[in-house]
């Protein structure tokens, strides 16, 4: 299947023949699987015979989804989780031990940030945060004993794009055994495939574009077979137990079938909304990698197929930002992203409330920042809604 086009892969990738020849994937809503004999049960636990044992260790609905995601990201193996944070914590807790060193970008989703700055240090992991869009600063932060490097392809919430090839090359040159882990949630494998650019592990919140319908919380980790065995058998099985349910796996398989057309439409809408915001007097600055004015445009154009559906923008004051959020009608005032509906939120007080004021500044955003997840509505309607909200919030 690897040679098939991306539109084919989102529909058919990893498609085993289904039981009873059903077209859509059956939901194996079961916690456990019956062994033919005590000997068979023993062989399966000993890894001497393949086959299902217990849904925390694997389930046929989820396996089909995992194969499809591995194909989409171009990795050997994938493990599904019950949330993006489940995927991230299981991955990092499998790769890191007490005394190890993690170098991560300064701009991260709020809960990843608190995992790295509060939880991992409690277990003796040394964490250094750096602005990875500055390659010299990254190189200075890297040491030969660094175990893992972590960043987001399009950073939440200010849409910073980091040069995946350059950072991966530098990381492996200085610390050949380190794992470069990339959160590809905002871009999705439709826009960029970090493993093909030198990264070692990709994590996802599948709650977002991969599922795409705002009705599931899920996550993935994708890598080579050896790393994935550790992540599945330690991070998932023993540490977090954050297993994805078969019903959710089915919904993501369904959502994935339209990933390509959803992303195409969302990226086209986002470009129009970003251009509108750039020309809007109520807006102080727009962050969207597709705009030529973005400092990340060159790197994004080099590494990404399209520029995504996420835009953030600064208003002139905190009060105007808050009031804009209170006046939207079509856009939904909600966190999360990647859905059919356009979602709008305030990172400093919502998704990134885990950051202190100083950390917000260091990460490169302010409390005047609004984040928009552009949806599938007519772009003219999104723009009309933002226009009326700006006028109500800031005066005509």
| Interface residues toward ligand LCS, by CB under 6 A | 83-85, 109, 112, 152, 156, 183, 185-186, 205, 207, 217, 219, 335-337, 351
- For ligand LCS, the closer CB: 60 or 338: 338
Q: In whole angstroms, how close is the CB of 208 to ligand LCS at the nearest point?
A: 7
- For ligand LCS, the closer CB: 84 or 289: 84
- For ligand LCS, the closer CB: 143 or 247: 247
Q: 64-90 burial by CB neighbour count: b if 16+ within 10 A, else e?
A: bbbbbbbbbbebebbbbbbbbbbbbbb
Helix 379-394 to helix 259-278 angle (10° resolution) is: 40
Q: In whole angstroms, how close is the CB of 321 to ligand LCS at the nearest point?
A: 17
Residue ranges of alpha helices (H) inside 212-258 are 225-230, 246-256
Residue 35 structure tokens:
């062994």
Name the active-site residue from 193, 208, 260, 371.
208
Q: In whole angstroms, how close is the CB of 34 to ligand LCS at the nearest point?
A: 32
Q: In whole angstroms, how close is the CB of 210 to ligand LCS at the nearest point?
A: 10
CA distance 54 to 163: 41
Cβ atoms 279, 30 nearer than 8 A:
no
Name the active-site residue from 100, 105, 163, 183.
183
150 is a catalytic site residue: no
Q: Is 320 exposed, middle or buried (0-12, 13-18, 19+ CB in 10 A)?
A: buried
305 is a catalytic site residue: no
Name the active-site residue from 68, 105, 109, 200.
109
Tally the C-alpha atoms within 13 A of residue 74's C-alpha that lie toward its C-beta.
18
Give one word for 20, left, alpha or beta, with left for phi > 0 and alpha for psi -120 to 50: left
Where do the DSSP E strands lie in the chain?
77-81, 101-105, 126-130, 146-152, 179-183, 201-205, 219-223, 283-287, 310-315, 332-333, 343-345, 369-373
Q: In whole angstroms, how close is the CB of 154 to ligand LCS at the nearest point?
A: 8
Please spell the DSSP secondary structure of 133-157, one letter per residue. Answer: TSHHHHHHH--TTEEEEEEESB-TT
- For ligand LCS, the closer CB: 158 or 282: 158
260 is a catalytic site residue: no
56 is a catalytic site residue: yes
**Which of 282, 177, 308 shows the shortest CA–CA distance to 294?**
308
**Nearest residue relative to ligand LCS (C-beta):** 84
**Which of 39, 67, 32 shows the shortest CA–CA distance to 53?**
32
Q: In whole angstroms, how close is the CB of 43 to ligand LCS at the nearest point?
A: 35
Cβ atoms 360, 353 nearer than 8 A:
no
- For ligand LCS, the closer CB: 172 or 352: 352
CA distance 14 to 23: 14
- For ligand LCS, the closer CB: 85 or 283: 85
Q: In whole angstroms, how close is the CB of 217 to ligand LCS at the nearest point?
A: 5
Residues acting as catalytic residues: 56, 109, 183, 208
């Amino acid at each position: 299947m690897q040679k098939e086009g991306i539109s084919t892969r989102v529909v058919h990738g990893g498609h085993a023949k289904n039981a009873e020849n059903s077209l859509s994937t059956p939901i194996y809503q079961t916690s456990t699987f019956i062994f033919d004999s005590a000997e068979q049960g023993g062989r399966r636990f000993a890894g001497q015979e393949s086959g299902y044992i217990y849904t925390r260790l694997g389930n046929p609905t989820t396996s089909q989804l995992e194969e499809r995601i591995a194909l989409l990201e171009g990795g050997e193996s994938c493990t599904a989780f019950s949330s993006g944070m489940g995927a991230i914590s299981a991955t990092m807790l499998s790769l890191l031990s007490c005394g190890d060193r993690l170098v991560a970008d300064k701009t991260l989703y709020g809960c990843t940030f608190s995992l790295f700055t509060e939880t991992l240090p409690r277990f003796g992991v040394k964490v250094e945060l750096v602005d990875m869009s500055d390659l010299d600063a990254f190189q200075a932060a890297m040491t030969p004993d660094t175990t893992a490097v972590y960043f987001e392809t399009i950073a939440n919430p200010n849409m910073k794009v980091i040069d995946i090839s350059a950072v991966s090359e530098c990381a492996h040159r200085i610390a050949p055994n380190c794992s470069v882990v990339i959160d590809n949630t905002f871009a999705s494998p439709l826009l960029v495939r970090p493993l093909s650019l030198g990264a070692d592990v990709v994590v996802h919140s599948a709650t977002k574009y991969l599922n795409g319908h705002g009705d599931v919380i899920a996550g993935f980790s994708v890598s080579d077979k050896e790393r994935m065995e550790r992540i599945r058998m330690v991070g998932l099985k023993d540490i977090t137990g954050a297993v994805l349910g078969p019903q959710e796996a089915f919904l993501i398989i369904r959502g994935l079938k339209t990933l390509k057309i959803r992303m195409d439409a969302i990226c086209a809408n986002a470009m129009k909304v970003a251009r509108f915001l750039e020309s809007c007097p109520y807006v102080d600055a727009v962050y969207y990698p597709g705009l030529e004015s973005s400092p990340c445009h060159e790197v994004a154009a080099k590494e990404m197929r399209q520029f995504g559906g996420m835009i953030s923008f600064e208003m002139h004051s905190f009060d105007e930002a808050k009031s804009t959020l209170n006046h939207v009608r079509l856009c939904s005032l909600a966190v999360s992203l990647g859905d059919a509906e356009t979602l709008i939120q305030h990172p400093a007080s919502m998704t990134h409330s885990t950051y202190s004021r100083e950390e917000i500044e260091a990460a490169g955003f302010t409390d005047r920042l609004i984040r928009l997840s552009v949806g599938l509505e007519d772009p003219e309607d999104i723009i009309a809604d933002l226009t009326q909200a700006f006028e109500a919030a800031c005066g005509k």
